[in-house]
């Protein structure tokens, strides 16, 4: 029989061991693509070469049902960094230039929350959110103090900045949160057409393009690319996709460089790593749309925990709104109130940590849902939409459906959209799943069975057999809008007055 002293010693060792484990350094690295999609081997693209992101998948969990809450650059980044939808945090559209959108001054963001809790925070690459006080990082190397291509596409420069950040974190002996906002594979035909529609020649070593020492360019044949279902199958579009692939391969090599810096700094085994994108690809039905091509995102998460899942896929329905609570959960930071603009919420639709999914796949539920809220992209692109998506159904509410759907400058100038325009004008055959008129003019309500109709071609709104389903989705969407204090929650059939929807009697109930 063990003596009392031995028992005390064992208990003391257990306490010390538990303390050591709980005090182990915990860090976060977020790798964010800019308009990146599923041009990845891990998502069954057999042409685009992304061996490094694919290797990351083998170390963790790849999510097949991850969605952004808004299909636009600044709003999606603000939502990811706050855990609140764009209509709630105030980032209604693009932050830069004449668009000038900003979040509300009283919003709490991840970098501010983490810094208050002793975490060293850093951002490298595209920031694209404001105001500065709301989104303040300790270490900032972004488009605000650099050329965006140098901090977003020059993967050698990104590598060196990551090295500098990690060295400082080690010097301060602090846990860290590093957010790397790649500018690839964003289009650049609007700003730098000399480097190709996707800046695929930037840093390639060609005359006038500069050289990125760590980049070995991959070039693709236009007749071999995989054309997404929502893009027309023409030579012009295929060449556009081939250029996109080249920038995706540069992004992939950049991911590898940052991960090597993480390992060299001694943090591969204590850092939660996420790879995702801000919104859908910059092609028709993608970015700025609430169709799945605009909302569905790649998401790869690697946990260093011993019992974490490796090389597995998850079918769980998750939102990028869940990133903020996941990061806080990882650091063990409690927050008494939602990171929001005076909102009350309920457990069934509020953002939540997906850390448990990294250990065990949850049982699927038809009640799971993600929500989306789009208002602007560019300041001239006012087309408010709201949506709710479950595993089987999606309901989209186009609030200003009488207007034609707006087209952003990047897409308008792209070879793909110009091809659609030219073929439509000249009445040439257009091998696309829609007509341009159908794309521009949309009904007020769109209801899709995304399980039976993943291309979202058959609008089931008003179908008698789905009346109960549609009513339930409409009620759930309205409830989410009320809980998140959506200023558009009464549109277009009523006006919001003293928290009540007052009917306009315009026939748009």
The pLDDT assigned to 348 comes to 61
Across the chain, mean pLDDT equals 93
CA distance 124 to 179: 6
> Rg (Cα) of the chain, in Å, rounded?
23
- pLDDT score of 335 more than 80: no
Prior bond to 185 cis, omega within 30?
yes
End-to-end alpha-carbon separation of the chain, Å?
78
CA distance 319 to 322: 5
What is the percent of the chain with per-residue pLDDT over 70, rounded to a whole number?
93
**CB distance 126 to 181 below 8 Å:** yes
The pLDDT assigned to 25 comes to 86
3-class secondary structure, 422: helix
The pLDDT assigned to 1 comes to 41
- pLDDT score of 413 more than 70: yes
- Rounded to an integer, the average pLDDT of 390-400 is 97
3-class secondary structure, 220: coil
CA distance 440 to 457: 15
**CB distance 349 to 390 below 8 Å:** no
**CB distance 101 to 92 below 8 Å:** yes
- pLDDT score of 492 more than 70: yes
Buried b or exposed e, range 351-373, using 16+ CB within 10 angstroms: bbbbbebbeeeeeeeeebbbbbb
Res. 345 pLDDT band, cuts 50 70 90: very low
CA distance 115 to 465: 52
The pLDDT assigned to 84 comes to 97
- Rounded to an integer, the average pLDDT of 56-67 is 98
Q: Which residue has the higher pLDDT, 142 or 346?
A: 142
- Angle of CA points 445, 450, 455, to nearest 5°: 90
What is the tens place of the pLDDT at every residue in 208-260? 999 999 999 999 999 999 999 999 999 999 999 999 999 999 999 999 999 99
The catalytic site residues sit at 73
What is the tens place of the pLDDT at every residue in 140-194? 999 999 999 999 999 999 999 999 999 999 999 999 999 999 999 999 988 899 9
The pLDDT assigned to 19 comes to 32
What is the tens place of the pLDDT at every residue in 68-95? 999 999 999 999 999 999 999 999 999 9
- pLDDT score of 344 more than 60: no
22-26, 50-54, 59-63, range with the lowest pLDDT: 22-26
Comparing C-alpha atoms, which of 428, 49, 454 is closest to residue 224? 49
H runs (alpha helix) in 341-435: 409-413, 415-425
């Amino acid at each position: 029989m063990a003596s009392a002293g031995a028992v005390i010693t064992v208990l003391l060792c257990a306490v010390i061991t538990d303390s050591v484990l709980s005090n182990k350094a915990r860090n976060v690295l977020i790798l964010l693509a800019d308009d990146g999609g599923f041009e990845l081997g891990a998502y069954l693209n057999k042409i685009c070469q992304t061996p490094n992101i694919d290797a990351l998948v083998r170390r963790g969990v790849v999510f097949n049902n991850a969605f952004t809450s808004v299909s636009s650059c600044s709003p999606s980044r603000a939502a990811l960094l706050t855990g609140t939808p764009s209509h709630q945090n105030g980032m209604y559209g693009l932050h830069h230039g004449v668009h000038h959108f900003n979040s509300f001054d009283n919003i709490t963001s991840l970098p501010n929350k983490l810094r208050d809790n002793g975490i060293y925070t850093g951002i490298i690459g595209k920031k694209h959110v404001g105001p500065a006080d709301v989104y303040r990082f300790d270490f900032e190397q972004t488009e605000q103090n650099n050329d965006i291509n140098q901090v977003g596409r020059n993967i050698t420069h990104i590598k060196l900045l990551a090295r500098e950040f990690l060295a400082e974190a080690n010097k301060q002996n602090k846990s860290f949160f590093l957010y790397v906002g790649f500018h690839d594979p964003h289009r650049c035909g609007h700003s730098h057409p000399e480097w190709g529609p996707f800046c695929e020649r930037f840093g390639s070593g060609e005359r006038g393009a500069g050289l990125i020492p760590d980049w070995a360019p991959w070039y693709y044949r236009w007749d071999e690319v995989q054309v997404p279902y929502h893009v027309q199958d023409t030579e012009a579009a295929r060449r556009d996709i081939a250029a996109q692939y080249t920038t995706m391969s540069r992004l992939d090599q950049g991911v590898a460089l940052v991960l090597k810096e993480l390992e060299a700094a001694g943090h591969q085994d204590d850092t939660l790593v996420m790879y995702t994108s801000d919104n859908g690809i910059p092609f028709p039905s993608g970015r700025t749309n609430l169709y799945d091509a605009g909302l569905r995102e790649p998401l790869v998460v690697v946990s260093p925990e011993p019992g974490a899942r490796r090389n597995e896929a998850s079918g769980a329905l998750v939102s990028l709104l869940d990133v903020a609570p996941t990061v806080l959960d990882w650091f063990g930071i409690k927050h008494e109130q939602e990171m929001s603009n005076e909102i009350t919420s309920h457990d069934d639709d509020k953002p939540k940590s997906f850390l448990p999914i990294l250990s065990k796949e949850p049982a699927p539920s038809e009640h799971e849902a993600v929500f989306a809220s789009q208002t602007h992209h560019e300041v001239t692109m006012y087309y408010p939409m709201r949506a709710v998506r479950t595993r089987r159904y999606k309901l989209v509410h186009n609030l200003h459906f009488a207007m034609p759907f707006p087209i952003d400058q990047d897409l308008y100038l792209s070879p793909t959209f110009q091809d659609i325009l030219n073929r439509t004008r000249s009445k040439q055959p257009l091998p696309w799943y829609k007509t341009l008129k159908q794309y521009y003019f949309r009904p007020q309500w769109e209801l899709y069975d995304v399980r039976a109709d993943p291309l979202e071609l058959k609008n089931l709104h008003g179908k008698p057999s789905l009346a109960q389903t549609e009513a339930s989705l409409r009620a759930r969407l309205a409830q989410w809008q009320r809980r998140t204090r959506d200023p558009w929650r009464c549109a277009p059939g009523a006006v919001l007055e003293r928290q009540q929807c007052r009917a306009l009697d315009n026939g748009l109930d």
